[in-house]
Structure 1
């Protein structure tokens, strides 16, 4: 049985607090309301380290998580259930194996979000709230991590999510690889870039970073790479930042 859409009061409060959703047309707002209800019924939120996670904040996270799947529907959010929410930045232990020397080093990464393959979504509540307050600054941690989740639907993240029939896979791969290579070259040479240099870390991070730009600064993305911007519009739909 499909869960009902968000009730009137939670929906109105969330809409008032989420400029990204406010600028959607009526049809996409109605679909977002439906998807958010499904998300809240099927996912479990966990407040960690005394994060002040309220029902309204859970609704706002759900709403932003559903924006990237407006065209794909709730099946695009399959394969995982839990959302772990920290008050702010959190540390994750990492191991790095140097292929040349064979040496393994361990250390802590400080993150504001993380998406595990077949596992939870992890978020910094402070950054979620910052994105709600500054929706057009080119950053959105929830959208970034959901982009990773979409990328993982067909295996380990590689920057190529399962694509709808109207987007040729080869066209996507060629455009994104070219843009990633150009960005990586500019970052390596110390040049200023319109796309956050973090996107040069890997093709999957590139996809997640440009997904943030699509939703919050599509004009910047078009100036940086028109081909990538066009493909993301075909994949996600028109950005509310265009309104």
Structure 2
């Protein structure tokens, strides 16, 4: 009889299928997945099973997780990886879940003065290179309740994870059928346009937080691809086209765009 080591190895490549009852319940609770066509729903179900087999979930600071919530998180995490396949889940193993916002300690080096200062930042999500995916459960739940408002913390952090597959995040994930030069050129031009627009005069659906870096820009517009593709296409048609080529058709296509009002 195969031992625990063999059973663990096999589970990584042949994960146990998700029970029908649990899948139907989670599908009903995840509007983004519910709007996929049947073939992509089947792909998502298989990829989510792989995600659950490969990633270890840790509930921190009193957060409560059950199989339903683990699956809901896995489904949203696998949506951006759906077109890239199981290989895009490589390089990390843990998902850390806080009940709500969490604090992280950050150091800042002032290039002009050389002074290093430290302080706490409040976050709802983080993705560490070759480290865990960190999420606020309250914000995951809010995104499920308001799926079309332009925000999705799981999609945002998974965009970072995809970006980091080939090194530190730079806004350019590994590309197969998309010319890398075209991606860099179009994203850089769009990023520069947003940076040049003062926040108080910006009427773009792209949250001004995207100006933090090219990596944040990619993650923010990835959220829009999944929740407000029409508004993204109106604001930056070239970026929207590239994201559709990379991620596939948005599950929000066909919906009337709604106002974007939630602050980051």
> With structure 1 as the length reference, what TM-score do the two structures score?
0.97
Contact 1:187/1:200, CA 8 A, preserved across alignment: no
Determine the structure 2 residue equivalent to 1:140.
152
Are 2:202 and 1:198 equivalent residues in the alignment? Answer: no
SS of residue matched to 1:71: coil
Shift of 1:194: 1.9
Contact 1:153/1:162, CA 8 A, preserved across alignment: yes
Are 2:25 and 1:13 equivalent residues in the alignment? Answer: yes
Are 2:98 and 1:86 equivalent residues in the alignment? Answer: yes
Contact 2:94/2:132, CA 8 A, preserved across alignment: yes
Rounded Cα–Cα distance in structure 1 between residues aligned with 2:202 and 2:162: 30
Are 2:83 and 1:71 equivalent residues in the alignment? Answer: yes
RMSD: 1.0
Q: Which runs of no fewer than 5 residues in structure 2 stay unpaired? A: 1-12, 255-264
SS of residue matched to 1:129: helix
Are 2:243 and 1:229 equivalent residues in the alignment? Answer: no
SS of residue matched to 1:242: coil
**From 158, 162, 167, the counterpart of 1:150:** 162
For each residue in 1:13-70, what CA deviation from the matched residue of structure 2 results, as whole angstroms up to 9, or x when unmatched? 1101001001000110000000000000110000000012221111000000000011
SS of residue matched to 1:241: coil
Rounded Cα–Cα distance in structure 2 between residues aligned with 1:191 and 1:6: 44
Contact 2:199/2:208, CA 8 A, preserved across alignment: no
**From 14, 18, 35, the counterpart of 1:2:** 14
Shift of 1:188: 5.9
Shift of 1:191: 2.9
Equivalent runs, 1:147-186 vs 2, <5 Å: 147-164=159-176, 166-186=177-197
**From 65, 84, 96, the counterpart of 2:108:** 96
Rounded Cα–Cα distance in structure 2 between residues aligned with 1:102 and 1:240: 47
Q: Residues 189 and 138 (structure 1 numbering): CA distance in 2 closer, same or farther, change over 3 Å?
A: closer
Q: Residues 152 and 100 (structure 1 numbering): CA distance in 2 closer, same or farther, change over 3 Å?
A: same
**From 212, 223, 226, the counterpart of 1:212:** 223
SS of residue matched to 1:210: helix
Q: Which runs of no fewer than 5 residues in structure 1 stay unpaired? A: none
Shift of 1:189: 7.0
Rounded Cα–Cα distance in structure 2 between residues aligned with 1:169 and 1:37: 31
Are 2:215 and 1:187 equivalent residues in the alignment? Answer: no
Rounded Cα–Cα distance in structure 1 between residues aligned with 2:198 and 2:95: 33
